[in-house]
Structure 1
Amino acid sequence: MLLHLLALYATFQGCYSDVNPLTAAKTPTHCNPSSTILFRVTGNIYPDGYHYLKVDLGDPPIPYLFDFDTGSHFTWIQCDAPCQKCLPAPNPPYIPVSRKLVGCRHPICDEIRYPKDHVCESPNEPCTYYIRYADGGSSLGVVINDPFPLTYTNGTLIKPEISFGCGYHQKHPDPANRPHVDGILGLGSGKESILSQLRELGLVKSVVGHCFSKQGDGYLFLGDEFVPSRAVWTPIITTNEFARRYFLGVAELYVGLYTTGIRNLRVVFDNAATHTYFASEAYATLVSTITKDIKEKKLEEVNDDDLPLCWKGPQPFESIEDVIHKFRPISLSFLENPQYTLFEMYPEAYLIVKHGIVCLGILDSVLLQAPTVTLIGAISFQDKLIIYDNENQKIGWTTANCNDPPQSQCHSILKN
């Protein structure tokens, strides 16, 4: 560890940052900046199991690939600091441009300092972070303050200096099957998230929206330009347990038009989860209901290496359209919303067709070591625009064509 710290100091040459200055190179346009940043999203639920976007970082710029996560806050990238252990990735480790370390006493470090109880002995001591994810992956590194180029939808290029992780030691229990990306973009509402930092700089509103097509790919935006006038909304509920999550409160579970009698589902939205996870009691009830539903529909239960509940038909299924008529919609009714807001999941938002069989893409949340939590993942967000509005503390959704990104009021420049 001591040898690595010495190398780290040599890499960053003792530069520290306590501020986030903004520089901008402007492209001439015929209207004011829209303060919204639009990204093209690549990926799918099956077979890849994740979505990613590109950000051009470095000098010269390299299109680094980021998995993005509304369930976490901190952004990091594999980094040449130097790198002790970097996992296979699309690009070489990132070389910081400004070489500014964030100090241990910086306010952002308070949110992510590792170890948490570490006492900073000097303001020049670098801020060390460690983050671990539900799939067992982790990143260890230092926090840097570096240009993070982004383009508004009207073509204005901005280069805010953002605090993010320079990860020099990454681990994953299954490196060959992890998302093939260079880092993770944390889109939670925490102070350390890129969304909060951009808002603090006055560059965007604290709003993020994503739209995943069931055919694959989609788009994501930061800012409020593309918030639809018609959407279903429910409040973000703040509790001690879910203080830093997108928690929608308690919901009742319906299958088709009928309640299952389960009224205590505590629901969290998290796009980085490929599948949806129901609290154990609700999962058992759902499986029992579906099993009864399909008893007369010529489906036979079969084993699969990855998903616990699958069926085959008289003929192999070629697409989800071959089988959706055999299943009913699933709905969540949010009881704390006076309008009893419904989040509907049609069969294509909870089933996966693979190798000629169909599988249930809803799992037991005991697998997340959280048996009383219901986590809605990317599979159930397909063909919906999901909006996380931290400005007004609410989450909304509406049916959308996720193959076609929205057009800006100015000329649209889509990040590729």
Structure 2
Amino acid sequence: MASVSTSSCSPFLLLVLCFSLSFQSTHQSHHVISIDSLFPKCSSSKGTKKLIQSPSTVEIHHKHDPCSQPTSSSSEATKSTQQLIQQLLDEDQSRVNKIQSTLSKKKQDPLVIKKATVPVQSGRSLGTGNYVVRVGFGTPKSDLLLVFDTGSDFTWIQCQPCAKSCYDQQDPIFNPSNSKSYTNVTCTSQLCGPKLRSATSATPGCASSTCVYGIQYGDQSFSVGFFGSETITLGQDVFPNFFFGCGQNNQGLFGKSAGLLGLGRNSLSFVSQTAAKYGSVFSYCLPGSSSSTGTLKFGSSPYPPAVKFTPMLSRPDGPSFYFLDLIGISVGGYKLGISGSVFATGGTIIDSGTVITRLPPAAYEALRGAFKKAMAKYPLGKPLSILDTCYDFTGYSTVTIPKIGLFFSPGIEVGVDPSGVLVAASISQVCLAFAANGNPSDVGIYGNKQQVKLDVIYDVGNSKIGFGPGSCS
């Protein structure tokens, strides 16, 4: 078979979530994927299905647009593809470490933020997400690009005058003095206390009678600023008196976004603050390529018959996380013989901000063994960071990979799209996109890489999560 040239690809095109596998089914248990599709060329067309729009729907984009080339002054421009992916996976592991630390009830070190305006105690410290949406802030409205994250509760944006520091963002930085609807929350407000602390895991501060928040994430990104109230607009829906953070000292790996939209279960999350309108229901379809578009929708609607629901669980040690009951895995059409107790020991959360799904060690070993057996005819490649099952596809134009499915209570199977099975650093280093936890008691995480092209429905009020055929590509 002819070898594949990747010389026309830019480094950003090779990022873990920047490829979409073209495929066809040979039979029920396998996919045939094109090696060319691991290294797509930048295209101005989004290549998505026609998306149904509504007042409560906004488009989802990946925060690393493959058509946006780094400038010559950017340090990213000098990094190799492998270095870029290594960085992404390292950041992903930092997020996972902090999630697991939070849920294991271990004592955390005090949060130290250089140049912070107030001392900030240890935060939830989750890493930042990978997908962005546009939300309007203020009167008149300023549309801002925000990372949305089901593993975070607190919404914040960068604000003028950036008293300490603001990172580079795509949109003009929001100026609250130009908005007729912005107000500061005072230090004496009931919100400036346990409620704010529960959303940020940091004790609020006070500056000139204004409440001050602070939050830090797993990759050491952080935001510190004023706690305020503002009118926000989602699609065509307007919400006055929305509580959020107006950041004056912000640093970290947020891409070109203006901040973060917290979709956790806390009382200050976007989901809770808009519950009167949307009934604590939201859904998304994550695109399989960062050059494609997905949707984030709020509010309930008639669900197609193909949608399968699993119970949403609650745990006192992680009330803001979305727990579900993972009970099994299939490879190539066969369910693996993994005891249910393997998954139950640490439990499992679904998280839009974690990239690679993390499994209990025994479950991962079973998955890896079955996958390697199905892929036995392909030569192995070098491991890549946290990914230890890699292949060298040099000389191949197509490869056949087994289908992978995840089983959730009460027995529903959710398939993993072909673009969620592999991660490619180069043609000689293409890896299984799953990883093992370090300890059987660590919480498992259903990551966004394995959620692509699914409609994922969070019905928080009825404590259930649904999965169906995706409305995006």
Q: Same fold (TM over 0.5)?
A: yes
Answering whether residue 193 of structure 2 is matched by residue 112 of structure 1, we say no
Give the C-alpha shift of residue 116 in structure 1. Answer: 6.2
- Amino acid aligned to 2:62: G
Give the C-alpha shift of residue 60 in structure 1. Answer: 4.8
Which of 294, 309, 328 lines up with 2:375 in the alignment? 294
> Counterparts of 2:63 and 2:302 in 1: how far apart (Å)?
22
> Counterparts of 1:384 and 1:277 in 2: how far apart (Å)?
19
SS in 1 for 2:173: coil
Hey, what does 1:364 align to over in structure 2? 436
> Counterparts of 1:354 and 1:370 in 2: how far apart (Å)?
29
Q: Residues 173-211 of structure 1: CA distance to partner in whole angstroms, max 9, x if unpaired?
A: xx4xx4321101011121001121112xx3222111000
Hey, what does 2:279 align to over in structure 1? 205
Please show how residues 17-166 of structure 1 align to structure 2 within 5 Å.
37-43=56-62, 50-80=130-160, 82-96=162-176, 97=179, 98-104=181-187, 105-107=189-191, 109-113=193-197, 125-152=209-236, 157-166=237-246
SS in 2 for 1:142: strand
Q: Residues 137-195 of structure 1: CA distance to partner in whole angstroms, max 9, x if unpaired?
A: 2222221101112334xxxx5242200111122233xx4xx432110101112100112
Hey, what does 2:104 align to over in structure 1? none
Hey, what does 2:269 align to over in structure 1? 193
Kept in 2, the 8 Å contact 1:144–1:166? The answer is yes
The verdict on how the C-alpha distance between 1:107 and 1:226 changes in structure 2, with shifts beyond 3 A counting, is farther
Answering whether residue 405 of structure 2 is matched by residue 331 of structure 1, we say yes
Hey, what does 1:381 align to over in structure 2? 451
> Counterparts of 1:135 and 1:226 in 2: how far apart (Å)?
39
Q: Residues 356-414 of structure 1: CA distance to partner in whole angstroms, max 9, x if unpaired?
A: 24222212344xx99622111111111110000012110001012314xxxxxxxxxxx
Which of 310, 313, 317 lines up with 1:234 in the alignment? 310
Kept in 1, the 8 Å contact 2:214–2:224? The answer is yes
Hey, what does 1:392 align to over in structure 2? 462
- Amino acid aligned to 2:132: Y
- Amino acid aligned to 2:147: D
Hey, what does 1:170 align to over in structure 2? 250
The verdict on how the C-alpha distance between 1:41 and 1:108 changes in structure 2, with shifts beyond 3 A counting, is farther
Instruction: Provide the TM-score with structure 1 as the length reference.
Output: 0.74
> Counterparts of 1:391 and 1:285 in 2: how far apart (Å)?
35
Q: What RMSD, in angstroms, separates the aligned Cα atoms of the two structures? A: 3.2
- Amino acid aligned to 2:371: I
Give the C-alpha shift of residue 227 in structure 1. Answer: 4.0
Which of 270, 294, 298 lines up with 1:222 in the alignment? 298
Percent identity (aligned): 25
Give the C-alpha shift of residue 89 in structure 1. Answer: 1.4
Kept in 2, the 8 Å contact 1:51–1:217? The answer is no
Kept in 2, the 8 Å contact 1:213–1:401? The answer is no
> Counterparts of 1:120 and 1:45 in 2: how far apart (Å)?
34
Hey, what does 2:329 align to over in structure 1? 253
SS in 1 for 2:320: coil
The verdict on how the C-alpha distance between 1:191 and 1:302 changes in structure 2, with shifts beyond 3 A counting, is same
Kept in 2, the 8 Å contact 1:108–1:192? The answer is no
> Counterparts of 1:119 and 1:82 in 2: how far apart (Å)?
19
> Counterparts of 1:311 and 1:58 in 2: how far apart (Å)?
50
> Counterparts of 2:174 and 2:235 in 1: how far apart (Å)?
20
Kept in 2, the 8 Å contact 1:205–1:223? The answer is yes
SS in 1 for 2:210: coil
Which of 248, 256, 277 lines up with 2:358 in the alignment? 277
Segment drifting more, 61-70 vs 81-90:
81-90
Kept in 1, the 8 Å contact 2:186–2:192? The answer is no
> Counterparts of 1:271 and 1:370 in 2: how far apart (Å)?
22
Give the C-alpha shift of residue 69 in structure 1. Answer: 0.5
The verdict on how the C-alpha distance between 1:170 and 1:121 changes in structure 2, with shifts beyond 3 A counting, is closer
Answering whether residue 419 of structure 2 is matched by residue 348 of structure 1, we say yes
Segment drifting more, 231-240 vs 285-294:
285-294
Give the C-alpha shift of residue 275 in structure 1. Answer: 2.1
SS in 1 for 2:160: coil
> Counterparts of 2:257 and 2:248 in 1: how far apart (Å)?
15
Give the C-alpha shift of residue 44 in structure 1. Answer: 7.4
SS in 2 for 1:195: helix
Q: Residues 39-95 of structure 1: CA distance to partner in whole angstroms, max 9, x if unpaired?
A: 011127996972211123345543311010011111111112543121221133321
> Counterparts of 1:207 and 1:99 in 2: how far apart (Å)?
27
Segment drifting more, 57-66 vs 163-172:
57-66
- Amino acid aligned to 2:359: F
Instruction: Provide the TM-score with structure 2 as the length reference.
Output: 0.65
Answering whether residue 315 of structure 2 is matched by residue 244 of structure 1, we say no
Give the C-alpha shift of residue 315 in structure 1. Answer: 1.8
Hey, what does 1:23 align to over in structure 2? none
The verdict on how the C-alpha distance between 1:121 and 1:360 changes in structure 2, with shifts beyond 3 A counting, is closer
In the alignment, structure 1 segments of 5+ residues that lack a partner are 1-33, 404-416
Paired positions, count: 347
The verdict on how the C-alpha distance between 1:258 and 1:151 changes in structure 2, with shifts beyond 3 A counting, is closer
> Counterparts of 1:398 and 1:348 in 2: how far apart (Å)?
16
SS in 1 for 2:174: coil
> Counterparts of 1:85 and 1:344 in 2: how far apart (Å)?
44
SS in 2 for 1:168: strand
> Counterparts of 2:165 and 2:247 in 1: how far apart (Å)?
9
